[in-house]
Amino acid sequence: MEIFCCFNGCTLAPTPGQAKCSFHKNRGMCSIEACVNQVYARGLCVRHGGRQRCFYHGCTTAARVDGYCSRHAKAVVSDKSTTTALCTESKDAFLALDVLGDLEFLLPVEIETPFRGDELDESILTCLIQEDAWGLVML
């Protein structure tokens, strides 16, 4: 009878005197009794809460992409591209999608009149900036 590493699904032989193989020797086991999964975070495996859950309402699957599980991430990514398209087409449609009211900074800034710097007379500049004998600027 062959002896395998104590981790779930590992087919490697354990190192002598240990329950873990050389690959898993520095990895911890889930702290839940009788669970043989590898620790992900806070002493827990993914199944027992070591990973963040999907943001989608009512979903209890572990998050994978931008806080969503693989089932719901695709829908969220397509929603993001729709939002971007609306942003470029219609400001009102984009703001209608902004439920939290914090995305307005993404819209392009509309400038009413183009900026034109003040034309300074050379005599004004000469009065403002005067160099002394050592090349220091005096105001």
Assess whether pLDDT exceeds 80 at residue 91.
Answer: no
Give CA–CA dist 46/116, Å, rounded: 59
* Confidence band, pLDDT 50/70/90 cuts, at residue 139: low
Give CA–CA dist 88/94, Å, rounded: 8
Place of tokens 């070591």: 50
Give CA–CA dist 111/102, Å, rounded: 21
Alpha carbons within 13 angstroms on the beta-carbon side of residue 121 total 3
- The pLDDT value recorded for residue 9 is 86
* Confidence band, pLDDT 50/70/90 cuts, at residue 77: low
Assess whether pLDDT exceeds 50 at residue 87.
Answer: no
Residue range 32-57, pLDDT digits in tens: 988 888 888 888 888 888 888 888 88
